[in-house]
Structure 1
Amino acid sequence: MLLPSKSIPADQALLAVGAQILVQLERPGSVSAVWERLQEWRTERGMRSALPFWWFSLALDVLYTIDVVEQRDGELVRKSRAV
């Protein structure tokens, strides 16, 4: 599930979808706004494989678990990392 396999295409693996979500979080947005932006982004790039909302939600769970996103004032935001 996290990584591509025989049954999970590369563009649908949870880590890949998580990366796609992070691209959408260049600017904060509500969960539904980020979902819509992701759908448009995937369509523009010719990604025809279905991405159900529940899979999007699982990818968000992964991002929360690895502590790279958070919710502030009702919007999803990327966490900034001090290096």
Structure 2
Amino acid sequence: MITPTKGISPDRCLLAIGAQILLQLDEPRSVSQAWSRLKTWRADHAHTSPVSFGWFVLALDVLYSMGAVALDQDVLVARSTDAALLER
């Protein structure tokens, strides 16, 4: 589910959806704005596999658990991490 499996195609796994969500967070956005932009982005890039709102929320959960996004005053914010800081 998080990564591709026999039953989950690569464009529907939670990591891929999460990466697509991060592309939409070039600036802080509400959850509904991020959802709307993700649907538009997927249609523009010929991703025909359906992604439900529940699947979108699961991908957000994965991103949050990895520290890639934060919710700040009801707005999603992409968090940048410096690889050099993680090595210490």
TM-score range, shorter chain: over 0.9
TM-score (norm 1): 0.94
Query: What is the 5 A alignment of 1:1-83?
Result: 1-82=1-82, 83=84
The CA distance in 2 between the partners of 1:80 and 1:74, in whole Å, is: 19
Q: Give the AA of the match of 1:76.
A: L
Greater radius of gyration (CA): 2
The CA distance in 1 between the partners of 2:27 and 2:60, in whole Å, is: 16
Unaligned runs of 5+ in 1: none
Unaligned runs of 5+ in 2: none
Query: Among the aligned pairs, what percent are the same residue?
Result: 47
TM-score (norm 2): 0.89
The CA distance in 2 between the partners of 1:34 and 1:3, in whole Å, is: 22
Spell out structure 1 runs of 4+ moving beyond 2 A: 80-83
Aligned-residue CA RMSD (Å): 0.9
Equivalent pairs, count: 83
